[in-house]
């Protein structure tokens, strides 16, 4: 099987070289680097030095529960992305690990998406390093050989939604106060093509068109109806539901599931793998523009102002927002006030 997977990556999926390939046996794990050469990796534990990524490994089932743990909102900062990348590599290398459940240790928030302050008022070198780290996480999660289930236990805008979209299956806590979606346009920024492709592969073209253009954030019920998530459960049952669902995925032999997953996601992954440097250059050029910086600053400030001055919208006001939910959008609040 190792030979089949290696051939698949080196030959038929050349651009996926660098995405992990696993093999059984006593000799450890096989990692194919971007030049196609093999590196032996020792087996290791999953400590994250700052505890910003907590991993609880169930040795009996081979399922790792990974909790993001950066209060207040699990924003994806450069240090968090770096730690997450290390943990994901370790899990991928562990031959006992077959499945990953991604969730949050922060109450009511899955992830607030990319850390706004990593995209503001920084030198271009920082933007470049940050964006490479964002790309890396997407490549590792979307290209993971593990069965991957997102247990979405809170709001999940923008990059937070992307994390969830990388999973094979999404279960969300059915709490009407939570929202999920790619809301980038609401910040005056643009979801990159690989964010768009990940959404497109999940919900189809028409929903992608509406969601991305409007920067829509959806309630769990709306997200379910659009197939942005696969199932809703009461908050208290989220982890047991994710564990039960994982059992279904692990009934399938790993090699068959992994090759099938590669086949389905290959072209999307190649879209970025073939032009990573150009994508970084594009991001740096875009994010460093004065107009974009002003937009982000305004957005970050309004998040803070919202907390200081604005009460949550009344239920009648929320109903008016209706199917495209802009709840929690500082822009919406500012429009309402003016
Ligand atoms: C060519 C391509 C170009 C560009 C592509 C770039 C792509 C970007 C994708 C992204 O992910 S952009 C980030 C988008 N994220 C958001 O819009 C989320 C904004 N946050 C919220 O809506 C809310 O904070 C929340 C629903 C997540 C949580 O609400 P709540 O529990 O009420 O917390 P607060 O709003 O009071 O926030 C607490 C604290 O956290 C700060 N914060 C919130 N989000 C972020 C963030 N993304 N990055 C950094 N910091 C964030 C917020 O300002 C508060 O800070 P305090 O100092 O006031 O405590």
Nearest CA to ligand 1 atom 7: 191
List, by residue number, the catalytic residues.
114, 159, 183-184
Task: Give 319's pLDDT tier (boundaries 50, 70, 90).
Answer: very low
pLDDT band at residue 140 using 50, 70 and 90 as cut-offs: very high
pLDDT higher than threshold 60 for residue 54 = yes
Is the pLDDT score of 328 beyond 50?
no
CA distance 250 to 48: 26
Nearest residue (by CA) to ligand 1, atom 28, is 73
**Ligand 1 in contact with 157 (CB < 6 A)?**
yes
Q: Which residue has the higher pLDDT, 83 or 326?
A: 83
Q: 101 CB less than 6 Å from ligand 1?
A: no
The confidence score (pLDDT) of residue 144 equals 98
Q: Tell me which of 68, 81, 112, 179 to substitute to probe ligand 1's pocket, judged by most ligand atoms within 8 Å of the beta carbon.
A: 112
Given this model, what pLDDT does residue 334 score? 34
Q: Is the shortest distance between the CB of 190 and ligand 1 below 6 Å?
A: yes
pLDDT of residue 4: 34
The reported pLDDT for the residue numbered 46 is 58
Q: pLDDT band at residue 307, thresholds of 50, 70 and 90? A: low
The residue whose CA is least distant from atom 42 of ligand 1 is 73
In degrees, rounded to 5, the angle at the alpha carbon of residue 76 between the alpha carbons of residues 70 and 81 is 95
Residue 338 has pLDDT above 70, yes or no: no
Report whether pLDDT(70) > 80.
Answer: yes
Does residue 112 have its Cβ closer than 6 Å to ligand 1? yes
Residues 32, 35: Cα–Cα separation, whole Å: 8
pLDDT, position 33: 28
User: Whose alpha carbon is nearest atom 36 of ligand 1?
Assistant: 307
159 C-beta closer than 6 A to ligand 1: yes
- Residues of 11-35 as b/e, b for ≥16 C-beta within 10 angstroms? eebebbbbbbbbbeeeeebbbbeee
% of residues, the chain, pLDDT over 70: 76
Give the whole-angstrom CA distance, residue 119 versus residue 113: 12
The pLDDT, as a whole number, for residue 48 is 65
Q: What is the mean pLDDT of the chain?
A: 83
7: which residues sit within 8 A by CB, 6+ positions away?
none
Between 111-120, 151-160, 322-331, the lowest mean confidence (pLDDT) is in 322-331
CA dist 149 and 101 (Å) reads: 5
Ligand 1 contacts CB of residue 183 (under 6 A): yes
Report pLDDT for 3. 37
Angle between helices 254-273 and 276-287 (to 10 degrees): 50
pLDDT for res 305: 73
Tell me the three state secondary structure of residue 13. coil
> How far apart are alpha carbons 73 and 178 in whole angstroms?
13
Q: Is pLDDT above 50 for 132? A: yes
């Amino acid at each position: 099987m190792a030979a089949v997977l290696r051939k698949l990556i080196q030959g038929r999926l050349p651009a996926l070289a660098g995405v992990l390939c696993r093999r059984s046996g006593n000799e450890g794990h096989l990692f194919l680097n971007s030049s196609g050469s093999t590196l032996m990796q020792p087996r290791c534990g999953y400590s994250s030095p700052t505890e910003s990524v907590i991993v609880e490994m169930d040795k009996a089932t081979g399922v790792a529960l990974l909790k993001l743990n950066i209060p207040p909102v699990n924003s994806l900062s450069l240090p968090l992305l770096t730690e997450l990348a290390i943990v994901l590599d370790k899990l991928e290398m562990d031959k006992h690990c077959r499945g990953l459940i991604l969730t949050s240790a922060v109450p009511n928030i899955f992830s607030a998406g990319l850390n706004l302050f990593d995209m503001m008022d920084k030198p271009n070198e920082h933007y470049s390093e940050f964006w490479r780290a964002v790309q890396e996480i997407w490549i590792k999660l979307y290209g993971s050989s593990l069965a991957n289930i997102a247990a979405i236990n809170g709001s999940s805008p923008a990059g937070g939604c992307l994390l969830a979209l990388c999973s094979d299956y999404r279960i969300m806590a059915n709490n009407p106060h939570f929202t999920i979606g790619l809301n980038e346009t609401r910040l005056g920024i643009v979801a990159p093509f690989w964010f768009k492709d990940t959404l497109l592969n999940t919900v189809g073209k028409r929903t992608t068109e509406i969601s991305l253009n409007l920067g829509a954030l959806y309630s769990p019920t709306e997200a379910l109806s659009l197939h942005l998530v696969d199932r809703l459960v009461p908050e208290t049952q989220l982890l047991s539901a994710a564990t039960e669902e994982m059992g279904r995925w692990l009934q399938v032999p790993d090699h068959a599931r992994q090759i099938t997953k590669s086949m389905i996601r290959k072209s999307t992954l190649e879209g970025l793998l073939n032009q990573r440097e150009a994508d970084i250059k594009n991001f740096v050029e875009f994010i460093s523009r004065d107009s974009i910086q002003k937009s982000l600053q305004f957005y970050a400030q309004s998040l803070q102002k919202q907390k200081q001055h604005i009460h949550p919208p009344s239920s009648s006001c929320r109903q008016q927002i209706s199917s495209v939910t802009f709840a929690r959008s500082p822009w919406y609040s500012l429009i309402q006030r003016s």
